[in-house]
Amino acid sequence: MSAVTSCPNFIGGEWKQVSNVPTTPVHNPSTGEVIAEAPLCTAAHVNEAVEAAAAAFPGWWETPPTERARILFRFKSLLEDSFEELVRCNTREHGKTLVESRGDVKRGLEMVEFACGIPSLLMGESLENVARGIDCETIRQPLGVCVGITPFNFPCMVPLWMYPVALACGNTFILKPSEKVPLTAIKVVELLEKAGLPKGVLNIVHGGRECVDALLTHLNVKAISFVGSTPVARYIYETGTKNGKRVQSNGGAKNFILLMPDADVDNSVRGVVEAAFGCAGERCMAGSTAVVVGSAAKTVLPTLVEAAQRIKVGPTDREPQPDMGPVITRQHRDRVAQLVEAGVKEGAKIAADGRAAKVAAAPNGFFMGATVLDNVQPGMTVAKEEIFGPVLNVMRMEDLDAAIELANRSPFGNGASIFTCSGKAAREFKHRIKCGMVGINVGVPASMAWFPFNGWNESFFGDLHMQGKEGVQFFTQLKVTMSRWFSYGEGDVWYREPKK
């Protein structure tokens, strides 16, 4: 294989190289080198993929759920066999550490495990004699052609949030992976093809804005799943629903972690560091704002700053592994640094500065060290915008009520956590905090495959979330049947001629 890979589309069961369109580079963030080129496909390529998916839908719908599940079981086994290969591909194109990539692949694998239970998940309900001699039942049927538009930060997991459940429910699917990280998505779909998925049931199209708009407006697309930033999530939702699609659209976040005076220092610091700097802060569940309450500013904060300063940044595509890898692109690194500088100009104080991080072993990598901004105020730019990098804001509040009120003023609503030894404080926090996923002494309260990924407010646009039973509900429509059966001849009594 050449050093720079050209990413093919997968349409109608065939891998197709795309020519005569612009391309965008795929980097190894640890070195800065270009390792692939992703084509920016047109509406014509999208139409080809939709037609292939639409043609495959009737046959796939009629395939019994047990048979669809068996294909997913084989897919699961192939994912397990290829686990480390996928991990290293993920790390190479994204920059996660190998440990983080293992988590990425494992969480995706868990979604496949969940989808393997589809015969039970699709079961309807029934009740006899809802009226005399009349029975009622419900069944779930697939929608048709569904679409997934995925971000760069979880190349394996997020696509697997979407299409295993969609396919298990009997839909066909088109995946538009992030043009920044298409390689892992391709490898995973190769395994699904090997598992015996019929041609056209799953398709891949690469691209940017033109490709996305074509998917959002195509007449034969029935549903859209999206994960990305809030401005784009809002656009996806508004455009998709305007064109008659069912949409679940996950946006960005500003997740708060409250550190109470009675918090266990070591465990709290470990939880915050993982939440803020894991995956270089590039995740929508990143704990990007630590609210130190009362005396926690003296007991917890100094240890937290020291821990951030000790984080070793470096290339993740080799051994030994660093504590934290690079961010996704040079442009993104510069944007994060500019936001830090804006925070300083607006009055925040740098407690740990990672902007000048240099890695001698990889001088062209996209590195930024762990950064802590103290005394951040609610009106500052860094307090309002999702930074999506290894930056932790520290805000100070006098008591729990003020801390909860501060967090609830955020327009986002993915997750929030509290570190405390007080059951009363934990219950109060859980009850009053306005977000969809809550952690109690858990820094990243991202739900597992069996529960919904449950963003609120401007972190989610739609009605049914990804994962769990809501994911099954999103990819199906409910049909209710009322039935009554007559004895032979019973139904024609009213029009018979009277006997003479």
DSSP secondary structure string for all residues of 332-376: HHHHHHHHHHHHHHTT-EEEE--TT---TT-TTS-----EEEES-
CA 390 to each of CA 195, 353, 383: distance values in angstroms, whole numbers, following the listed order: 38, 10, 14
Asked, as a colleague might, if the bond just before 155 is cis with ω within 30 of 0, I would say no
Residue 185 — φ and ψ, nearest 5°?
-60, -40
Structural tokens at position 343? 């925070």
HEC profile of 31-98: CCCEEEEEECCCHHHHHHHHHHHHHHHHHHHHCCHHHHHHHHHHHHHHHHHCHHHHHHHHHHHHCCCH
Q: Decide: 245 and 213 in contact? Cβ < 8 Å.
A: no
Q: Token match 């696509």: residue?
A: 159
DSSP letter at 244 equals T
Catalytic option among 156, 211, 284, 435 = 284
The rounded distance, in Å, linking the Cα atoms of 7 and 179 is: 10
Q: Is 284 a catalytic residue?
A: yes
CA 215 to each of CA 11, 41, 76, 478: distance values in angstroms, whole numbers, following the listed order: 14, 11, 28, 24
Active site residues: 284
